[in-house]
């Protein structure tokens, strides 16, 4: 009985400690964004010449892509990421040595090992930052937003986190495969997070349908490929490929419940959200999503028409483009980010704009 009594008497103390912890807990706020867009423009007409068949009209009508950007031969993913990071740091007037953690979300790293984030750290001079790569394919950046927010909330030593999404998929294009060659591009985007007293990050949800892990990806270079001669013979040189079919409506069918779940847990409705930012693969999918959510197109933005599909980089790139055009979120706005990619992985986050 004595032990039970002590446990009961500790309950109010534990609750009080938890209350004060919540009061003192830091909140992740997005304080800056940045983008790097490679100089080389590849139009649909250029793609048609390479493929030797029509593609322009179909791409415009069904996907919304008119042109895309490819990096130079002397560039790598880390170069794109570092350039986007510099822009975000300059806009926030933050020195690279003030960064506590540097995360690179990519599935086109410089190397299998070491982490591309380590390469970027050296290029930026972010000497005090811990580093790691995050690979959740094209859902990687929004997954990284979830991770960055929770680092800041759980550990006071993380005051500033630089999250970079970088994509160098032009290196893996198979020009004999028009289903992929017409879509993918290169680019990088950045978000700088800082700890603040007012809530920025509000809620998130991660999801995956792992049964489709063999549907889309770059299936070479890892331990399965190296140890399996049959696998090497099947996939050959590194290239991105759609291997197995999955439902065409997969994104829409799963995005809607994920979005509703995040909004419900945060205590908001669809109408409360001021801006929605989606994976920039297909404009028609975004249009359909906004119809299903019963939201006007003015609440979203897109960049695939001019930059192509930039995977893990597209979310920060589309946000930054909206901001630079004067169409971005205003202070106090609710902003929702929704992404999906190979795996099949998905992620949704909700932020209040500071």
What is the per-residue pLDDT across 137-179, written as a single tens digit (0 to 9) for each?
999 999 999 999 999 999 999 999 999 999 999 999 889 888 8
In this structure, is residue 59 part of a structural domain?
Answer: yes
The residues, ordered by sequence, that sit 6+ positions from 340 with a Cβ below 8 Å of its Cβ are: 138, 139, 250, 251, 254, 255, 279, 346, 347
Calculate the alpha carbon distances from 195 to 27, 131, 153 in Å: 5, 18, 8
Question: Do 212 and 151 share a domain, yes or no?
Answer: no
User: Is the alpha carbon torsion for 314, 339, 325, 102 positive or negative?
Assistant: negative
* Span 53-65, average pLDDT: 95
* Span 254-269, average pLDDT: 97
- Band of pLDDT at residue 22, cut at 50, 70 and 90: very low
**Which domain covers residue 210, as residue numbers?**
202-352
Q: Which of 177, 198, 219 corresponds to the end of one domain?
A: 198
Beta strands at 334-341 and 273-278: parallel, antiparallel or unpaired? parallel
pLDDT of residue 223: 77
Question: Do 240 and 157 share a domain, yes or no?
Answer: no
- Band of pLDDT at residue 65, cut at 50, 70 and 90: very high
d(CA 247, CA 242): 13
Structure tokens at 55: 């593609």
What is the per-residue pLDDT across 212-246, written as a single tens digit (0 to 9) for each?
888 878 777 777 766 565 645 555 555 555 554 65
What is the per-residue pLDDT across 302-327, written as a single tens digit (0 to 9) for each?
999 999 999 999 999 999 999 999 99
Q: Which of 198, 233, 260 corresponds to the end of one domain?
A: 198
What is the number of helices (H) and of strands (E) in the chain? 13, 13
- Band of pLDDT at residue 13, cut at 50, 70 and 90: low
pLDDT of residue 321: 98
Please count the structural domains in the chain.
Answer: 2
* Span 82-96, average pLDDT: 98
Q: What is the CATH number of the domain that holds 220?
A: 3.40.47.10
Give the DSSP H/E element, type plus range, for residue 70: strand 67-70
d(CA 169, CA 108): 6
In this structure, is residue 79 part of a structural domain?
Answer: yes
Question: Do 237 and 172 share a domain, yes or no?
Answer: no
Strands of 199-302, DSSP E: 201-208, 216-217, 241-242, 273-278
State the CB neighbour count (10 A cutoff) for residue 238: 14
Cis peptide before 305 (omega within 30 of 0): no
The residues, ordered by sequence, that sit 6+ positions from 16 with a Cβ below 8 Å of its Cβ are: none
Question: Do 143 and 207 share a domain, yes or no?
Answer: no
Residue 334 has pLDDT above 70, yes or no: yes
Q: Which of 148, 174, 198 corresponds to the end of one domain?
A: 198
Question: Do 230 and 128 share a domain, yes or no?
Answer: no
In this structure, is residue 144 part of a structural domain?
Answer: yes
Question: Do 82 and 180 share a domain, yes or no?
Answer: yes
């Amino acid at each position: 009985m004595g032990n039970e009594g002590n446990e009961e008497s500790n309950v109010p103390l534990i609750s009080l400690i938890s209350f004060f912890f919540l009061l003192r807990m830091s909140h992740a706020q997005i304080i800056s964004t940045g983008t790097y867009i490679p100089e080389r423009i590849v139009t649909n007409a250029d793609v048609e010449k390479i493929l030797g068949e029509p593609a322009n009209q179909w791409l415009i009508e069904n996907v919304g892509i008119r042109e895309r950007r490819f990096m130079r031969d002397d560039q790598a993913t880390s170069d794109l990421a570092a350039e986007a990071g510099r822009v975000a740091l300059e806009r926030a007037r933050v020195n690279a040595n003030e960064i506590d953690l540097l995360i690179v979300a990519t599935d086109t790293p410089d190397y299998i090992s070491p982490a591309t984030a380590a390469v970027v750290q050296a290029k930026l001079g972010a000497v005090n930052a811990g580093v790691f790569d995050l690979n959740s394919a094209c859902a990687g950046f929004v997954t990284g937003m979830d991770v960055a927010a929770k680092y800041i909330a759980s550990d006071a030593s993380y005051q500033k986190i630089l999250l970079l999404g970088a994509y160098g998929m032009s290196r893996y294009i198979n020009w004999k495969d028009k289903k992929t060659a017409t879509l993918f591009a290169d680019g990088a985007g950045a978000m700088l997070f800082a700890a603040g007293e007012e809530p920025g990050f509000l809620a998130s949800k991660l999801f995956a349908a792992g049964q489709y892990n063999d549907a889309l990806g770059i299936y070479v270079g890892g331990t399965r490929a190296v140890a399996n001669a049959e696998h090497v013979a099947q996939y050959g040189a590194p290239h991105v490929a759609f291997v197995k079919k999955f439902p065409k409506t997969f994104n829409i069918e799963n995005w809607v419940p994920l979005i509703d779940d995040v909004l419900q847990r945060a205590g908001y409705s669809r109408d409360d959200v001021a801006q929605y930012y989606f994976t920039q693969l297909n404009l028609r999918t975004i249009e359909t999503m906004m119809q299903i959510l019963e939201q006007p197109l003015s609440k979203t933005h897109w960049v695939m028409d001019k930059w192509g599909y930039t995977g893990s980089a597209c979310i920060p790139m589309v946000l930054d483009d909206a901001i630079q055009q004067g169409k971005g979120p205003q202070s106090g706005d609710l902003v929702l980010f929704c992404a999906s990619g190979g795996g099949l992985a998905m992620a949704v986050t909700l932020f209040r704009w500071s």
